[in-house]
């Protein structure tokens, strides 16, 4: 490993990979380090992604697409279903990825473009001189060395420590850290073209349970509830096991993963002198769905673009990197995060009864777009009182 790069990226998830890929394409020397021994494993994700989001970065490839999803269903506590079908007026649902291969594809792209990639290599300490970040001390197979960089991109995910080491507040309130458990279940009867979301306090209090198709007879079956709701006998895994017993008693669990998903607001500022923070580390996860793959890639790309300009201008101060922070907040992604945060705050306070009423009011609608915005607009149309309750929303 060289001791000096233009850009050092910490973390080999989708955010870090796209940042390194973009930096290399811009002609910068880029180094990506990943603490785990393999990119993409273990998977801590339900692997769902919108089609447009994905194709903005890569052409879909059957090697890393497990399922092409044509329908989505939201199931209310009393079983009422809200449905979306893909064939309606341009509507689209999404893909379920195979992230073991998808994450690798992104890192391959970065490396093909010229980035150096090192697995089993972790950042253990920032190098800070005169208050300015100059890279990181990294540990690779028991050996420590300094890697200096003009810009360091913290892409170290939900467990992100790097930005905190640099003095940035990144704590996630315990009620906004979703405690997730997921089984990869096989040999079950499912609709292989549908992603299903189950709501309700009996099923997943203040969260949801998902069944995302992974093939003809396999699915990611998982749940996320606030870490603050995890109580003995009612931990996320207890809810998931009860659901499994009721819906898939004969399913074979071939993988079990645990993970956290931050559904708080993004951190206050995502840059400082020599530092940019992206993806889950910046908490740019959709507060309603917990989806963060696409936003990690969007912030990764933008961060590297801004870094390239700053490096070319010979100024990687906080002020020079600030356009990244300003731009993503003003973007559609930034606006959606803020709106969905407020919508989440509204929905998590609903009783099962109220949820049933709302679901019932839109159960027979043919949605042309499966987005939080479309759902909320339809709900408001049919439940005008909601407008008052959601009055802060734009």
- Sites of contact with ligand FAD (CB under 6 A): 10-16, 33-36, 44-49, 122-123, 155-159, 162, 180, 182, 222, 259, 261, 279-281, 285, 290-294, 296
Q: Which is nearer to ligand FAD, 66 or 356 (CB)?
A: 66
Min. distance of Cβ 23 from ligand FAD in angstroms? 15
Q: Are 178 and 290 in contact (CB under 8 A)?
A: yes
Q: What percent of the residues of the chain are helix, what percent strand, and what percent coil, each to the nearest 5?
A: 35, 30, 40
How many DSSP H helices and E strands does the chain contain? 11, 18
Give residue 212's Cα distance to chain centre: 15
Q: Are 208 and 167 in contact (CB under 8 A)?
A: no
Q: For the chain, how far is it from start to end, CA to CA, in angstroms?
A: 49
Beta bridge partners of 132: 129
Q: Determine the Cα–Cα distance for residues 164 and 283; give it in Å rounded to an integer.
A: 13
Q: Determine the Cα–Cα distance for residues 378 and 387; give it in Å rounded to an integer.
A: 11
Min. distance of Cβ 278 from ligand FAD in angstroms? 6
Min. distance of Cβ 388 from ligand FAD in angstroms? 32
Task: Give me the count of residues in the chain.
Answer: 394
Min. distance of Cβ 85 from ligand FAD in angstroms? 20
Q: Which is nearer to ligand FAD, 66 or 182 (CB)?
A: 182
Q: Which helix (H) or strand (E) holds 221?
A: strand 218-226
Q: Are 345 and 63 in contact (CB under 8 A)?
A: no
Min. distance of Cβ 36 from ligand FAD in angstroms? 5
Q: Which is nearer to ligand FAD, 150 or 299 (CB)?
A: 299
Q: Which is nearer to ligand FAD, 93 or 379 (CB)?
A: 93
Q: Which is nearer to ligand FAD, 222 or 226 (CB)?
A: 222
Strands ordered across the beta sheet of 194-198: 81-85, 71-75, 194-198, 208-213, 218-226, 177-186, 252-262
DSSP 17: H
What radius of gyration, in Å, describes the C-alpha atoms of the chain?
21
Q: Which is nearer to ligand FAD, 36 or 363 (CB)?
A: 36
Min. distance of Cβ 342 from ligand FAD in angstroms? 20
Min. distance of Cβ 131 from ligand FAD in angstroms? 21
Q: Which is nearer to ligand FAD, 54 or 362 (CB)?
A: 54
């Amino acid at each position: 490993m060289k001791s000096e790069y233009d850009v050092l990226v910490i973390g080999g998830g989708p955010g870090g990979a796209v940042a390194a890929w973009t930096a290399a394409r811009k002609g910068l020397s880029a180094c990506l380090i990943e603490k785990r021994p393999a990119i993409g494993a273990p998977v801590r994700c339900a692997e769902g992604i919108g089609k447009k989001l994905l194709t903005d970065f890569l052409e879909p490839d059957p090697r890393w697409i497990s399922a092409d999803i044509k329908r989505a269903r939201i199931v209310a506590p009393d079983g009422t279903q809200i449905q979306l079908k893909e064939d309606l007026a341009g509507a689209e649902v999404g893909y379920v990825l195979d992230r073991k291969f998808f994450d690798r594809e992104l890192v391959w792209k970065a490396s093909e473009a010229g980035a150096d990639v090192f697995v089993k290599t972790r950042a253990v300490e920032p190098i800070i001189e005169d208050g300015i970040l100059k890279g990181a001390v990294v540990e690779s197979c028991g050996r420590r060395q300094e890697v200096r960089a003009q810009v360091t991109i913290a892409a170290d995910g939900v467990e992100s420590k790097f930005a905190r080491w640099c003095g940035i507040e990144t704590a996630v309130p315990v009620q906004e850290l979703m405690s997730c458990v997921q089984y990869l279940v096989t040999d079950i009867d499912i609709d292989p073209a549908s992603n299903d979301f189950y709501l309700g306090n009996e099923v997943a209090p203040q969260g949801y349970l998902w069944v995302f198709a992974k093939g003809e007879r396999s699915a990611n079956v998982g749940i996320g509830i606030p870490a603050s709701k995890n109580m003995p006998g009612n931990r996320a895994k207890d809810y998931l096991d009860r659901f499994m017993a009721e819906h898939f008693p004969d399913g074979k669990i071939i993988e079990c993963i645990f993970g956290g998903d931050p559904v708080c607001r993004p951190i206050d500022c995502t840059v400082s002198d020599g530092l940019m923070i992206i993806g889950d580390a910046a908490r740019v996860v959709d507060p309603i769905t917990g989806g963060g793959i696409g936003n990690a890639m969007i912030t990764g790309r933008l961060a590297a673009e801004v870094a390239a300009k700053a490096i070319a201008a010979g100024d990687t101060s906080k002020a020079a990197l600030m356009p990244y922070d300003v731009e993503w907040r003003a973007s559609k992604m930034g606006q959606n995060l803020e709106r969905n945060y407020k919508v989440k705050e509204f929905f998590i306070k609903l009783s099962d009864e109220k949820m049933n009423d709302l679901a019932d009011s839109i159960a027979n609608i043919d949605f042309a777009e499966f987005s939080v915005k479309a759902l909320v607009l339809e709900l408001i149309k049919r439940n005008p009182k909601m407008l008052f309750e959601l009055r802060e929303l734009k």
